[in-house]
Structure 1
Amino acid sequence: MDFSYSDEQRQLADSLRRFTDERYPIDARRKALRAPDGFSRDAWRAYAEFGLLGLTISSEHGGFDGNATDTFAVQFEAGRALLCEPLIPCAVMAAGLIQLAGTDAQRQAHLTAIAEGREIVALAYQEQDSRYDFARPSTVARTDGDSFVLDGRKVHVWHGEAAHTLIVSAWNASAEALSLFIVPASAAGVSVRAYPMLDGERAAEITLQAVRVPRSAMLGDGARGEAMLEAALERGIAALCASSAGAMGRLIEMTGEYLLTRKQFGQALARFQALRHRVADMLVQKELALSMAHLAASAIDVADATERRRMISSAKLIVGRAARFVGEQAVQLHGGMGVTAELAVGDYFKYLTASSLRLGDADYHADVLASLPMDPGTRALVA
């Protein structure tokens, strides 16, 4: 399989790298995290101008008809620069979900606004005590005339504080299934409590008390909400794997630079063989993570749901473990400096740690893989 960039993808990646090198140093990121919404609005407008926010949105709605490999090129650079804007929750997961399952009216109402940077949409699907299981939410949607009334509480809503619109999962008794609803964040009965996460990015707890939405707010088929939500999360996982691979690559570069300049016993640390071996181990893990991130991107277009799930969970599992290894090694090789604010290594370590937990940690995806039927190739080897 050819994972090399097309000319257009290379140009897009190069443009984003130039932007981040010139305008998004680590100090700018730290300042953005302290902003009211936890990210830079100026950067968000720049992403809209670059076309990043409408990358996978259809040209009919102001986008560029991109695919998962285009998203990979963007997210790799985003991870390399530790961009803290809601690219994945909004431009990848929410936009992809509306593009995939929305009605013409829903696409018209939201996709162009997302592509232009005027609207931020977040997924509200996780609940307390449910970990990563989203299949049977305690949030309920009951019919009342021509409306649905939603009651429940969502946690860990990634960039929920900045969202203008929420896509909320709820148990729909009338359909006896999980359904998804497009809910304005300003709707009566919606309350938001925001908080910072491990890496400084923002999340929110969303409470819905008798929130009334029209029937037209239901996203797609009310009986297929679980499958639609899973498809959105798979896109998010593929993007997150690419971002983590980019962050690992930059962290290794920073570690190499430090070892070349820091001296002990009159010579650079990079001359000590034991330390060189540790950097080599980091490179091996990064390359493994990069390969699995490519696998996750290629999985998005796989028609078979079981095989797609196997590929996505395998990637998330291996990338998460590699991220932890690379992050820990980088901190240790920087010594005491690795845990100070003077260097960016701590920011990267916290980002990689948080990313390994988002959208399912290693244990969760190991359980997913264990629950899937054995693929024919493995079955033949076992036999």
Structure 2
Amino acid sequence: MDFNFSEEQQMLQDTVSRLVRDTYGFESRERFLESELGFSAEFWQQLGELGLTAVPFAEEFGGFGGNGVDSMLIMTELGRSLCLEPYLHSVIFAGGLVTQLGSEAQKGDLLPKVASTELQLAVAVDEPTSHYQLHDVQTRAEAVDGGWLLSGRKSVVVGGHSAGLILVSARTAGNVRDEDGISLFLVDPSAAGVSRRAYPTMDGRKACDLYLDSVFVSVANLLGAEGQALPALRYQQGRAIAAQCAEAVGSMEAACSLTLDYLKTRQQFGQVIGKFQALQHRMVDMRIELDQATSMAILAACVADQPDSAERSRVLAAAKVLIIRAARLIADDGIQLHGGIGLTWEYVLSHHAKHLLMLSHQFGNDDYHLKAFSRLMKVA
């Protein structure tokens, strides 16, 4: 099996790496993080101008027809510099849902705008009591003349504070936790009855809670068939998990590099601490975990765009479990090998540790995915 990147993929990786390196110094990131938007509008626009936000979409919608490996290369570089822009949630997750469920008119209207960053999307599927279960939906959609009235609350909508449209899951039939009866709607955050409470997440990125009070959504803003959105939500969340694994690998690579550089320069007892064998062993353990995580991220990227199957779901669950546990070890050991400076806000390692912890809980933690993997093994 050939694991080498093609010439086009290498050029893609070099383009993203150069753009991030020139734009996203740690001081610049801190400035972007403290802004009202929570990320750099200029950098987001640059991603669009270079066609990087168009990579996953079909050519007919202004994209390049890229695959999971292409997305992996982009997400790894964005993760390496802790980029704040909502690439994962707007382009990969929300864009994938529109691609899979949208009508030709909806795709023709929305996808070119998403690909050019003219429009930012967000996905609102989590609720206060859902605990990673996509089918646990209490938000209701009541049928009325010409559409539906949506009422409910969605939690931790990453990028929802600045999104132009939010994809909201709501129940049009059935009881809470029924797998049938879940629909997906395009909701305008400026519509009557919509309110948002924005806040920073653990790693500094902004999210919001979304409140819906009898919000009217027209028939034209229903994505896919009524009551049949759950399979697409699960499939596209799988693509987002694969991209998230790549983002985590980029962050872990940066954390390992920072730690190794520190061991080579910090002196104690008249010599650099990297000469102490115990610390060398800890550094080797970090690199081993990183190499395993990288392999699983590549495997996840290779299956991300495959048709839905138990095998695909098993691979994605296994990748998330392994990468979460590698991230935890690398973040913890990196901080311990640095000592007190590793926890300070002014030092970039602490931000990598917080980002890795945040990624470990998005789309399901390791316990959740380990249980999913175990269930899937029973039907293998």
Q: TM-score, normalising length from structure 2?
A: 0.96
Quote the residue 2:90 is aligned against. Answer: 90
**Equivalent residues in 2 for 1:66-77, closer than 5 Å:** 66-77=66-77
- How far apart are residue 373 of structure 1 and its match? 4.2
Q: Which moved more, 1:292-301 or 1:307-316?
A: 292-301
Q: Is 1:47–2:44 an aligned residue pair?
A: no
Distance 1:63 1:304, change over 3 A: closer
Distance (Å, rounded) in 2 between the aligned partners of 1:92 and 1:360: 17
**Runs ≥4 in structure 1, deviation > 6 angstroms?**
none
Q: TM-score, normalising length from structure 1?
A: 0.95
The one-letter code sitting in structure 1 at the alignment partner of 2:225 is D
Query: Which of 200, 223, 226 in structure 2 is aligned with 1:222?
Result: 226
Quote the residue 1:108 is aligned against. Answer: 108
Residues 271-293 of structure 1 show CA distances to partners (whole Å, capped at 9, x for unaligned) of: 11110110000001001111111
Q: Is 1:242–2:243 an aligned residue pair?
A: no
- How far apart are residue 343 of structure 1 and its match? 1.9
- The 8 Å contact of residues 317 and 365 in structure 1, kept in 2 or not, is answered as yes
- How far apart are residue 185 of structure 1 and its match? 1.4
Distance 1:201 1:179, change over 3 A: same
- The 8 Å contact of residues 79 and 246 in structure 1, kept in 2 or not, is answered as yes
Match of 2:135, SS state, is coil
Q: Which moved more, 1:6-15 or 1:296-305?
A: 296-305
Quote the residue 2:216 is aligned against. Answer: 212
Quote the residue 1:281 is aligned against. Answer: 285
Contiguous gaps of at least 5 residues in structure 2 = none
Residues 89-110 of structure 1 show CA distances to partners (whole Å, capped at 9, x for unaligned) of: 0011111111122101111221
Q: Is 1:319–2:353 an aligned residue pair?
A: no
Q: Is 1:306–2:310 an aligned residue pair?
A: yes
Residues 325-366 of structure 1 show CA distances to partners (whole Å, capped at 9, x for unaligned) of: 000110111111111133211011111111111111101111
CA RMSD of superposed structures (Å): 1.4
Q: Is 1:33–2:33 an aligned residue pair?
A: yes
May I ask how many residue pairs the two structures share in their alignment? 376
Distance 1:64 1:302, change over 3 A: closer
Residues 297-341 of structure 1 show CA distances to partners (whole Å, capped at 9, x for unaligned) of: 122233342111111111101100100100011011111111113
The one-letter code sitting in structure 1 at the alignment partner of 2:147 is S
Q: Is 1:263–2:267 an aligned residue pair?
A: yes
Distance (Å, rounded) in 1 between the aligned partners of 2:309 and 2:198: 34
**Equivalent residues in 2 for 1:1-383, closer than 5 Å:** 1-173=1-173, 177-374=181-378, 376=380
Distance (Å, rounded) in 1 between the aligned partners of 2:191 and 2:3: 44
The one-letter code sitting in structure 2 at the alignment partner of 1:38 is G
Contiguous gaps of at least 5 residues in structure 1 = 377-383
Match of 2:52, SS state, is coil
Distance (Å, rounded) in 2 between the aligned partners of 1:131 and 1:9: 37
Distance (Å, rounded) in 1 between the aligned partners of 2:3 and 2:109: 35
Match of 1:82, SS state, is coil
